Amino acid sequence: MPWFALYTKPKNEKKVTEKLLGLGIEAYCPIVVQMKQWSDRKKKVETPLISSYIFVNVEEKDRNTVFAVQGIVRYLYWLGKPAIVHDNEIALLKESLNGRFTAVEVEGIKPGDSITVSKGPFQGKEGTVSLVEKNKIRLVLKELGVFVTLTREVSE
């Protein structure tokens, strides 16, 4: 069975994934742990790796069954057909997010450069740099149709 990318309403990724799993539909929402700063505290928060996107593993004929769950907007399309994500890409994403990984170094990279991500959940993906800041880099991953911001963790 192929994996498909689903676009969800904002901040509904985890809820939609849980509801799909409850219906017996294999669903995956890649989650990362981030340190969030508030005025009075810092806290580790689990957030989706790709905002408003989850992945489902369903037969082509059963694709419409996912719309029984509230919070799903549509399938992601590529060249007029539902975008298919290969099993090895989902496996790589799961494997990368299970362990700790170091952030990508930003030194010597400038907007317009084409780079291949060497570590982390997008390892092996090629992207075009659109923004470089002190400890952040924003890539355009054309094959997924998303922007990815990589942040280098600063030791305290």
Lookup: tokens for 137? 């880099």
Of 69, 66, 75, whose CA–CA distance to 15 is shortest?
A: 69
pLDDT class of 106 with cuts at 50, 70, 90: very low
Mean pLDDT of 1-19: 93
pLDDT above 70 for 73: yes
Q: Quick check: helix, strand or coil at residue 137?
A: strand
12-51 confidence digits (pLDDT tens): 999 999 999 999 999 999 888 878 888 898 888 888 888 8
Q: What is the pLDDT of residue 58?
A: 92
Q: Reading across the β-sheet that carries 136-141, which strands appear in turn?
A: 114-116, 126-132, 136-141, 146-151
